[in-house]
């Protein structure tokens, strides 16, 4: 698996799995009908962020990640990150590899820690993955996420020093 900076040429592939993941409304706190333009602005074109793509041996985009500052000014030394893996490539360690890459890059970029603001508590596989990579659950914001089938569930705030 190759992980490198995402390029505008990767966007079509990224959007092909990002759109259904967001539309499902189970893991991301984005508008489920977010426009492609808005999603691209958040993911690829954040002036304070950078995005990555994980590629299969044949060059197919299997997943993507992005890191950006979690706050501005006096809070800009804490990174935030997002991850999406094409379900067609699930179970291959793509999410783990992307997170390890994001942590390395965040360190290299001078961030002192990484914080996730909104990890859906029912997204158990992701929670376990982040924990296995050293993230702690600092708090769970009660009923902060409206899951399409499970109703109101909590959002974990997760954190790791770099």
Size of the site for a copy of itself (CB under 8 A): 38
Contact 98, 148 (CB under 8 A): no
User: Look-up: residue for tokens 């060059």?
Assistant: 59
Instruction: Rank residues 54 and 160 by Cβ distance to a copy of itself and give the closer one.
Output: 160
Query: Least distance (Å) from a copy of itself to the CB of residue 136?
Result: 10
Q: Does 29 bind a copy of itself (CB under 8 A)?
A: yes
Q: Does 125 bind a copy of itself (CB under 8 A)?
A: no
Query: Least distance (Å) from a copy of itself to the CB of residue 139?
Result: 3
Q: Does 36 bind a copy of itself (CB under 8 A)?
A: no
Position among 86, 115, 121, 123 found at the interface with a copy of itself (CB under 8 A): 115
Binding flags for a copy of itself, 55-94, as an x/- string (CB under 8 A)? ---------------xxxxxxxxx----------------
What 3-state DSSP class applies to 161?
A: strand
Structure tokens at 72: 């501005």
Q: Measuring CA to CA, which residue among 100, 36, 94 is closest to residue 64?
A: 94
Host H or E run for residue 107? helix 94-108
| Beta bridge pairs of residue 137 | 158
Structure tokens at 161: 């020093």
What 3-state DSSP class applies to 151?
A: strand
Binding site for a copy of itself (CB under 8 A): 22, 25, 28-32, 34, 70-78, 112-113, 115, 117-118, 138-148, 152, 155, 157, 159, 161
């Amino acid at each position: 698996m190759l992980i490198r900076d995402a390029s505008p040429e990767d966007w079509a592939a990224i959007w092909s799995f990002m759109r259904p993941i967001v539309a499902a409304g189970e893991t991301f706190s984005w508008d489920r009908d977010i426009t492609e333009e808005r999603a691209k602005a958040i993911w690829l074109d954040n002036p304070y962020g950078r995005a990555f793509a994980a590629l299969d041996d044949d060059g197919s985009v299997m997943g993507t990640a992005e890191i950006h500052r979690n706050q501005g000014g006096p809070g800009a030394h804490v990174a935030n990150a997002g991850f999406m893996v094409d379900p067609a490539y699930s179970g291959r360690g793509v999410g783990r590899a992307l997170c390890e890459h994001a942590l390395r890059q965040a360190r290299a970029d001078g961030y002192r820690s990484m914080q996730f603001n909104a990890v859906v508590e029912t997204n158990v596989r992701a929670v376990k993955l982040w924990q296995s990579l050293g993230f702690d659950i600092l708090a769970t914001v009660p009923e902060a996420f409206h899951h399409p089938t499970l109703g109101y569930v909590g959002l974990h705030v997760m954190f790791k020093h770099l």
